[in-house]
Amino acid sequence: MINVVMDRRDWAILLALALIWGAAFFFIKVAVTHVAPLTYVWLRLTIAALTLAAWMRWRGETLDLPLAVWGAITVLAILNNVAPFLMFGWAQQHIASGLASILNATTPIWGVVVAHIATSDERITPAKLAGVVIGFVGVATMIGPDLLTSGGSFLPQLACIIASLSYALAGVWARRFKPMKIAPLQVATAQLLVGALVMTPLSLTVGQPWIGGAPSAPAFGAIVVLALVSSAFAYVLYFKLIDSAGATNASLVTLLVPPVAILLGALFLGEMLTVVQLAGLGFIALGLAVIDGRLFVAVRRRALA
């Protein structure tokens, strides 16, 4: 049974993921400043996959998944790893990490739409529909000026939005593994292994990582942190959260990510966001609050009391 209202354990996982993935945007910026996105994604997925595979072996567990499952795992790897990692990596070569994290916060908005279409127990409600509309107003506020003026950051911002849609699709797609009795650790390990396998020929033939030489120490360190913490460890937590709280609740982590990413970007990268971008964040945050509904329920109860 999926918990519509999250318990303390779910909230603890959500907050941990917010800290981990908020810091991830800072580390991505460090990585792609020195390493091409294809190489960065390949290294991140490979290190993360090998780490989780070694962890499973140490625990005496095996993947041993039915052959029919690997097709679904491949789709998950592309939606949840390959495509969004590449798009965010490329985008952050051109825009601030804080801005990328704000656009990533549209994931729950897309998640409401995708879950309504693809599931039977996460249907859209009038409140959720209102939240979606408000969220899209926030997106239009942020990217509209660049679209009208042919600004150079429009395409990177669009890439972030497409990556967020990909994450939303992945969140709903991942639900199919619970009825199959596949543990979150198995799902996380399998998707990272497939993602690394997909990226290996792509990186070697197109990216040709040997041309640019070895990554600098800061870039390689950032990639290792992204692989071990933001991928290997975080995905195990994420799939546990989907199992217990549902795809829509799990995607709320993106609401908590921007403050962490913005703070780190300002402190260590000298990034500053414009008033328009912060206004867009405000609309997106309001939309997510409406979708979630718990804040308004609490206010109403207090008013009645």
Instruction: Compute the distance between CA of residue 232 and CA of residue 56 in angstroms, rounded to an integer.
Output: 11
By residue range, what is the domain housing residue 288?
Answer: 8-208+217-304
Asked if the structure places residue 2 within a domain, the reply is no
Residue 152 has what pLDDT? 67
Asked if the structure places residue 1 within a domain, the reply is no
Residue with tokens 């990510």: 257
Q: How confident is the model at residue 231 (pLDDT cuts 50, 70, 90)?
A: very high
**Whole-structure pTM value:** 0.86
> 175 pLDDT exceeds 60?
yes
Helices (H) and strands (E) in the chain, counts: 15, 0
| Residues 204-217, mean pLDDT to the nearest whole number | 83
Residue 39 has what pLDDT? 93
Q: How many domains does the chain have?
A: 1
Asked if the structure places residue 3 within a domain, the reply is no
> 1 pLDDT exceeds 60?
no
Residue 90 φ then ψ, to 5°: -65, -45
Instruction: Compute the distance between CA of residue 27 and CA of residue 70 in angstroms, rounded to an integer.
Output: 30
Residue 150 has what pLDDT? 56
Asked if the structure places residue 278 within a domain, the reply is yes
Closest by CA to 48, choosing from 188, 167, 171, is: 188
Asked if the structure places residue 42 within a domain, the reply is yes
Question: If you average pLDDT over every residue of the chain, what do you get?
Answer: 88
Residue 115 has what pLDDT? 87
Instruction: Compute the distance between CA of residue 51 and CA of residue 175 in angstroms, rounded to an integer.
Output: 24
- Please state which of the ranges 55-69, 136-150, 231-245 shows the lowest mean pLDDT: 136-150
Asked if the structure places residue 154 within a domain, the reply is yes
Asked if the structure places residue 57 within a domain, the reply is yes
CA dist 85 to 59, 160, 163, 238, Å? 29, 10, 8, 16
CB 287 within 8 A of CB 139: no
Contacts of 95 (CB under 8 A, 6+ apart): 153, 156, 157, 160
Count CB-CB contacts under 10 A for residue 30.
21
Closest by CA to 107, choosing from 234, 253, 264, is: 253
Instruction: Compute the distance between CA of residue 107 and CA of residue 103 in angstroms, rounded to an integer.
Output: 8
Contacts of 274 (CB under 8 A, 6+ apart): none
> 2 pLDDT exceeds 50?
no
Asked if the structure places residue 72 within a domain, the reply is yes
CB 46 within 8 A of CB 196: yes
Q: How confident is the model at residue 302 (pLDDT cuts 50, 70, 90)?
A: confident
